[in-house]
């Protein structure tokens, strides 16, 4: 079975500081990993994905994520946080047998304070 875990319900960071939102995964087969962001009363917006290749993946709005196979992690990072980055972040893994089926983590609320 495939799953992802987001161990932190909430992350607080000051504007301008680096941020990390953690995600670990469990898959059978190749991992197809994704990060999505959700703003209040909105759907999910795609940020970035890891399919294969370089372990450091760059995405939208200055976000990047580091894939670590040995630690089965896919942490989301940004060098300098903005207040506007405050939102709910979801890590997800694609089901290897069902194309449009994703397993989502429980989400991490990012609070960036001025």
Partner 1 sequence: ETGVTQSPTHLIKTRGQQVTLRCSSQSGHNTVSWYQQALGQGPQFIFQYYREEENGRGNFPPRFSGLQFPNYSSELNVNALELDDSALYLCASSNPGGWSTEAFFGQGTRLTVV
Q: What is the contact surface with partner 1 in residues (CB under 8 A)?
A: 32, 34, 36, 41-46, 49, 51, 90, 92, 94-95, 98-107
Cβ proximity to partner 1, 15 vs 86, nearer residue: 86
Distance in Å, CB of 14 to partner 1, minimum: 25
Distance in Å, CB of 27 to partner 1, minimum: 13
Within the chain, strands assigned E span 3-5, 10-14, 19-21, 24-26, 33-38, 44-50, 56-58, 64-68, 73-78, 87-94, 102-104, 108-113
Cβ proximity to partner 1, 17 vs 60, nearer residue: 60
Cβ proximity to partner 1, 25 vs 90, nearer residue: 90
* Cα–chain center distance at 28: 19
Strand 87-94 to strand 33-38: parallel, antiparallel, or no bridges (unpaired)? Answer: antiparallel
Distance in Å, CB of 17 to partner 1, minimum: 26
CA pair distance 34, 2, nearest whole angstrom: 13
Cβ proximity to partner 1, 60 vs 80, nearer residue: 60
């Amino acid at each position: 079975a495939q799953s992802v875990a987001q161990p932190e319900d909430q992350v607080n960071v000051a504007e301008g500081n680096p941020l990390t939102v953690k995600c670990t995964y469990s898959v059978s087969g190749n991992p197809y990993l994704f990060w999505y962001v959700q703003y209040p009363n909105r759907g999910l917006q795609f940020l970035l994905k890891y399919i294969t290749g370089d372990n450091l993946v760059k995405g939208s709005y200055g976000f990047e994520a580091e894939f670590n196979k040995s630690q089965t992690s896919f942490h989301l990072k940004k060098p300098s946080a903005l207040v506007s980055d405050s939102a709910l972040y979801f890590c997800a893994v694609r089901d290897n047998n069902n194309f449009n089926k994703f397993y989502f983590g429980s989400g991490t609320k990012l609070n960036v304070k001025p």
